[in-house]
Amino acid sequence: MSNFPTTARCVVIGAGIVGNCLVGHLSDMGWDDIVLIDKGPLPNPGGSTGHASNFIFPVDHSKEIVDLTLESQRQYGALGMQNTCGGVEVARSEERMEEFRRRMTSAKCWGIESSLMTPAEVKELVPFINEEVILGGFYTPSVSAVDSLETGTQMRKRAQEAGHLKVLTNTEVLDIETIETSHGKAISAVVTEDGTISCETVVIASGVWSPKLAAMAGATIPLTPAVHQMADVGPFDVLVETNQELAYPIVRDMDTFCYERQSSGSMEVGSYGHRPILHRVDDIPSNDEAALSPTEMPFTPDDFDQQMEEAIELMDFLGDGEIKYAINGLLSLTPDANPVLGPTIEVENLWAAAAVWVKEGPGVGKLLAEWMTYGYPELTDPHGTDVSRFYPQQRNVNHIEARADEHFNKTYGIVHPREQWNSRRNITVGPVKSRTDDLGAFYFEAGGWERPHWYQSNSDLLANYDVPQRTHEWDARWWSPLSDAEHLHMRENAGLVDLSAFQIFEASGIGALEYVEKMVVNKCDVPVGKSIYTPVLNESGGFRSDLTIVRLQENLFRIITGAFDGARDEYWFRSHLPADASVNLENKTNAICTFGVWGPKAVALLSRVTESKLDQDNFPYGTSQSLLVEGLPVDMLRISYVGDAGFEIYTGTQHGLALWDALWEAGKDYNLRPIGAAVYGTSGRLEKGYRLMGSELENEYNPVEAGLDRNKVKAADFIGKTAYVKARAVKQVAQLCALTMDSNKCSAGYERFPTGSGNEPILTLDGDRILDDKGRISRVTTAGSAPSIGKYVLLAYLPIDKCIPGTALQVLYQNELYPITVATTGRNLSLYDSEDARMRC
Amino acid sequence: MGVMRILVCVKRVPAPGARIIITEDEQNIDSGHLGFTMSPHEECAIEAATQLSEQHGGEVTILTAGSSASEEQLRYAASVGASSLVLIENSSGNDWDPQRTARALSTAVRALENESGNYDLLLFGNEAADTGGYQTGIRTAHLLGRPIVNAINGIEAEEGGFVARRETLSGVEVYRVTGPAAFGVKEGINLPRYPTMKGRLASKKLSVRVIEDHSEPGEQYRLRLFRPAEVAKETVILGTDSNAAGAVVDLLEEMGLV
């Protein structure tokens, strides 16, 4: 074929909403040699976009998802492809009404107009609804329906008309070829049934087929095709006579996981309430074999009957409508229900752009185009959608299907910010799980690891300490008063923390120093045995991570990061290894386990089990020593994330159980208790004002704003240096602050406790949202109790004029206002022992 | 006549796309990712039965031979108006050749009629959507000793029988048939209704009567299935935008449409 492009800079596979929008944005950003391939015909090649219901409810609790959704609505609107019809979610339970109050909080946070409605008010909007089965509604006027196929067509044409894009339809991709590189492999070509295209970059935007295409290159895109049932029912006079595509707001019947969307004279009834029906990619028929399209699978009516009954209960007339079209529509589910975007970890220049809803498509197109062009996305921080967030044991079909099976029915569910998974637990555990089990540990999953969150064996401590109980079930869910008791016990005695979930990489070799210097902000050329806590930036100067590095030897650096970010961090470090093999990066997570011992008695306790001197003079804060504990070789690091003196103790996993037992035995004389991650990660950290990646730290903020800048900038070059130096030179528009709640009392007279999951806005005393000069929203990034000072603490970025201790503000939680006051700002946010005297004794 | 008793025979068949995949043993269509349906002729037969029973007062029974999976088609029929469902199962397998099918259907009809009286009207689809044998209706009617007219595209009830029409190349044939009688219905006789949601939910509540069949296989059996060699599809682009108009008109004239 003469027109067949034998070379391209970038090949995008898949002409659904994502692929089309991506090529449009890439073209806008100057990519002038793109090929878009699809195995089906245009404008509807047969993927999930072609059967989407195409509506957008913009309110979500996740900032990342809202950023993508609002940007998508903006793009659909700019192209004239959006019909803003409004939408109302209805509740059939009090629990759902509480969720609506949470939605009101999110709506306020993101600046989306929404309101709570009585059943009668819902009836005014939707006259054919049975108001007797609902308790109320959550109405958002900016809910819209869009034309995703035409939007895709226009975005594609934009790139074609610019002369930047060639489109190949009805062309199946047979293989994706790679070449060996110094540290793995990289993209070289895409093989199609019509010929081979040599290329630098490939993007897989192939929806449910993405895992199969990724596998061609030896990569993984963890998702599973799953069924969403949908039926078109009608015609109905009440709809026909409107003479409009959408005269009535779209209704989401949240407690039955169903929606009803007018489509001219008919109603589309869709459901996320049926049993999870997962397919394998190989089960999807080809365009030729499919009776409808490949992703419009045969309807299985038995699965839909209950949804029909519930729909009729809400809108009686639906029962008389004819079912003219009904499908088991395929969509993509990932293990955590978020999209999978960004560079794949296995193959250089192979990108994932999958598991994206129509409501996020154009935004994702822009985000990826920025990411591919600049090396990082500007639109939002992608840590929740980044394909590199999954660990190896989370990328296989067992894990993907188990988790998709579990979360499918939560699509419209009420998901608590602390909610834990039921499936695929105990897959990854540390060496002392048998001991922590015996102590009644309640485990939270952290990056796949089982991590004790609190210990039932500490129940007796509740008699010693007057810790607050939580009246409201929502506040008390996935929470225990034991955590505050453990905290207070540690402050007076000593606590033992299982830190086995730490992610540990070691960089070694003659180029190791230069390499780690390049990767992080703070100086790594320190004496052997010193530790470095440091931000990790992208080129924009925004946060990519924060972590601790220990110089164990001249050319050996141990990099320690958290379980939630380990997979992303490992990808980032690996993808920046020098080509000359001067550095070896080894993942030691499974080889090394870690325990922490902190509290005023920690040093004395540990001195019992080692002959080395542990006092501050002989073992200063921030340093590491290799020594023996009861004859077991360990590396001890004097450091603290909880505000008390103590050590992180690293040893080979094979010694973990013996080390734990030795510490436990010695601890008997010091009232040592096991302490859960709720203390380590939240209450202990919060009293000291320490920051957490993904909460306070994300790419929209720089180290100066986060208060993590140092007095000097190191001489060595590092990623983000230019931006960092610039940020230090200009007046900051925002700063991270710690705030305390003046009162937790709600209107019902009991205390409420914000979750700090990112959607709770900080408001002025007039109740207005607070935005800084860059348009960034002030919101709670972490919330939790500070038991030692008897306060409930929030962290938030505030515009610089409000970063003054004593400033009175408000926080919105579950749609109710609470008075708060700025307590600290700047580098030291500590609310407890702000001189750090306890940590250095 | 009193309450009109109508029986419609249907067959569960796969609903394939443009390309049909044949299993490796060449004995079946690979229905791994296909849905199932009945032939459009049978959907029209059910609609005709439902309309007659609505006009004259009647009850519609649906009869099928197959596995329990065929309940899906029985319930579909119930969701568009049938009131009684019967499934014939044969424990020796599901190899339903036309002779065996006709024997099983006629035996079942006789059994049902012994219990509740004769059916005034038996309706079949003109031919099955998968095998296209054109035999089952005729063979069954013959075994039952009932008159049958095939390929009808119109039917009305009158005192003592039915008037049916069928179109042929030379014109329209009209048959006046004394009841009880059988007809093979051809698609186009009506526009079958879709099930309503209420109809679907009601159909779930109907019980399915199962009749055990012991008919022996007939003399017809399948050697193998094969797909004819594919004729390459050639798409000719006549032009784009308004420039294509002339070529489109030429083509329409060539096809005798203008």
Q: Which of A710, A704, A706 is nearest to A691 (CA)?
A: A706
* Whole-number pLDDT of residue A2: 59
Q: A298 and chain B: CB distance < 8 Å anywhere?
A: yes
* Whole-number pLDDT of residue A430: 96
Q: Nearest 5°: phi and psi at A660?
A: -55, -45
DSSP, collapsed to helix, strand or coil, labels residue A387 as helix
Q: A103-154: per-residue pLDDT in tens? A: 999 999 999 999 999 999 999 999 999 999 999 999 999 999 999 999 999 9
Q: A327 and chain B: CB distance < 8 Å anywhere?
A: no
Torsion of CA A563, A564, A567, A573, to 10 degrees: -90
* Whole-number pLDDT of residue B220: 84
Task: Kindly state the average pLDDT of the residues A584-596.
Answer: 98
Compute the distance between CA of residue A91 and CA of residue A138 in angstroms, rounded to an integer. Answer: 8
Compute the distance between CA of residue A677 and CA of residue A443 in angstroms, rounded to an integer. Answer: 9
Compute the distance between CA of residue A487 and CA of residue A478 in angstroms, rounded to an integer. Answer: 17
Asked if residue B197 has pLDDT above 50, the reply is: yes
* Whole-number pLDDT of residue A76: 98
Q: A162 and chain B: CB distance < 8 Å anywhere?
A: no
In chain A, the percentage of residues whose pLDDT exceeds 90 is 98
* Whole-number pLDDT of residue B233: 66
Query: Count of CB contacts below 8 A, A vs B?
Result: 70
Domain range list for chain A: 7-46+151-223+336-403, 80-144+225-328, 503-604+611-669
Beta carbons of B33 and A290 less than 8 Å apart: yes
In chain A, the percentage of residues whose pLDDT exceeds 70 is 100
Query: A164: how many CB neighbours lie within 10 A of its CB?
Result: 21
Beta carbons of A321 and B197 less than 8 Å apart: yes
Q: Does domain A503-604+611-669 have CATH number 3.30.1360.120?
A: yes
Q: A659-676: per-residue pLDDT in tens? A: 999 999 999 999 999 999
Q: Cα Rg for chain B, rounded, in angstroms?
A: 21
Q: How confident is the model at residue A725 (pLDDT cuts 50, 70, 90)?
A: very high
Beta carbons of B201 and A305 less than 8 Å apart: yes
> For helices A63-78 and A361-374, what crossing angle results, to 10°?
100
Instruction: Decide if A72 contacts A362 (C-beta within 8 A).
Output: yes
Q: Nearest 5°: phi and psi at A791?
A: -125, 165
Q: From the CA of B54, how many Å to the nearest CA of chain A?
A: 17
Task: Give the Å distances, CA to CA, from B221 to B10, B100, B127, B178, B213.
Answer: 20, 11, 17, 35, 19
* Whole-number pLDDT of residue B95: 78
Residues 232-271 of A with CB under 8 A from B: 233
Average pLDDT of chain A is: 97
Its sign, for the CA torsion A721, A573, A9, A48, is negative
Of the residues A267, A271, A289, A325, the best mutation for testing chain B's interface (the one with the most B CB atoms within 10 Å of its CB) is A289
Compute the distance between CA of residue A99 and CA of residue A85 in angstroms, rounded to an integer. Answer: 23
In chain B, the percentage of residues whose pLDDT exceeds 90 is 71
Question: Which fold is adopted by the domain A7-46+151-223+336-403?
Answer: FAD/NAD(P)-binding domain (3.50.50)
Q: A309 and chain B: CB distance < 8 Å anywhere?
A: yes
Asked if residue A757 has pLDDT above 60, the reply is: yes
Task: Kindly state the average pLDDT of the residues A516-544.
Answer: 97
Instruction: Decide if A448 contacts A428 (C-beta within 8 A).
Output: yes
Compute the distance between CA of residue A176 and CA of residue A428 in angstroms, rounded to an integer. Answer: 33
Q: A787-809: per-residue pLDDT in tens? A: 999 999 999 999 999 999 999 99
| CB-CB neighbors (< 8 A) of A311 in chain B | 197
Compute the distance between CA of residue B58 and CA of residue B78 in angstroms, rounded to an integer. Answer: 14
Task: Kindly state the average pLDDT of the residues A585-613.
Answer: 97
Q: A314-365: per-residue pLDDT in tens? A: 999 999 999 999 999 999 999 999 999 999 999 999 999 999 999 999 999 9
The two counts, helices (H) then strands (E), for chain A are: 20, 40
Of the residues B31, B33, B47, B71, the best mutation for testing chain A's interface (the one with the most A CB atoms within 10 Å of its CB) is B33
Compute the distance between CA of residue A506 and CA of residue A552 in angstroms, rounded to an integer. Answer: 9
Q: Which of A352, A353, A372, A721 is nearest to A536 (CA)?
A: A721
Task: Kindly state the average pLDDT of the residues A775-783.
Answer: 98
β-bridge mates for residue A635, sequence order: A626, A650
Compute the distance between CA of residue A176 and CA of residue A170 in angstroms, rounded to an integer. Answer: 17
Q: A284 and chain B: CB distance < 8 Å anywhere?
A: yes
DSSP one-letter string for A239-251: HHTTTSS--S-EE
Q: Does domain A80-144+225-328 have CATH number 1.10.3720.10?
A: no
Measured between CB atoms, which of A288, A292, A309 is closest to B19? A288
Q: Which residue did the predictor score with more confidence, B19 or A475?
A: A475
Compute the distance between CA of residue A681 and CA of residue A115 in angstroms, rounded to an integer. Answer: 35
Instruction: Decide if A811 contacts A780 (C-beta within 8 A).
Output: yes
Structure-block tokens of residue A373: 């062009």
The alpha carbon of A571 is separated from its chain's Cα centroid by a whole number of angstroms, namely 16
Q: Model's pTM, two decimal places?
A: 0.94
* Whole-number pLDDT of residue B34: 87
Query: B176: how many CB neighbours lie within 10 A of its CB?
Result: 10
DSSP state of A616: T
Q: B103-143: per-residue pLDDT in tens? A: 999 999 999 999 999 999 999 999 999 989 999 999 999 99
* Whole-number pLDDT of residue A299: 94
Q: What angle do CA A581, A584, A590 make, to 5 degrees?
A: 155
Residue type (1 letter), A459: S
Asked if residue A1 has pLDDT above 60, the reply is: no
Give chain B's domains with CATH numbers. Answer: 4-232 (3.40.50.620)
| CB-CB neighbors (< 8 A) of A320 in chain B | 196-198
Measured between CB atoms, which of B19, B33, B194 is closest to A283? B33
Q: Cα Rg for chain A, rounded, in angstroms?
A: 28
| CB-CB neighbors (< 8 A) of B75 in chain A | 301
Compute the distance between CA of residue A203 and CA of residue A350 in angstroms, rounded to an integer. Answer: 6
Of the residues A169, A268, A292, A308, the best mutation for testing chain B's interface (the one with the most B CB atoms within 10 Å of its CB) is A308
Task: Kindly state the average pLDDT of the residues B221-231.
Answer: 83
Task: Kindly state the average pLDDT of the residues A294-300.
Answer: 94
Say yes or no: do domains A7-46+151-223+336-403 and A503-604+611-669 share a fold: no
Compute the distance between CA of residue A249 and CA of residue A140 in angstroms, rounded to an integer. Answer: 9
Beta carbons of B197 and A298 less than 8 Å apart: no
Compute the distance between CA of residue A215 and CA of residue A688 in angstroms, rounded to an integer. Answer: 46
Asked if residue A224 has pLDDT above 80, the reply is: yes
Helix H or strand E segment including A310: helix A305-314
ipTM over 0.90: no
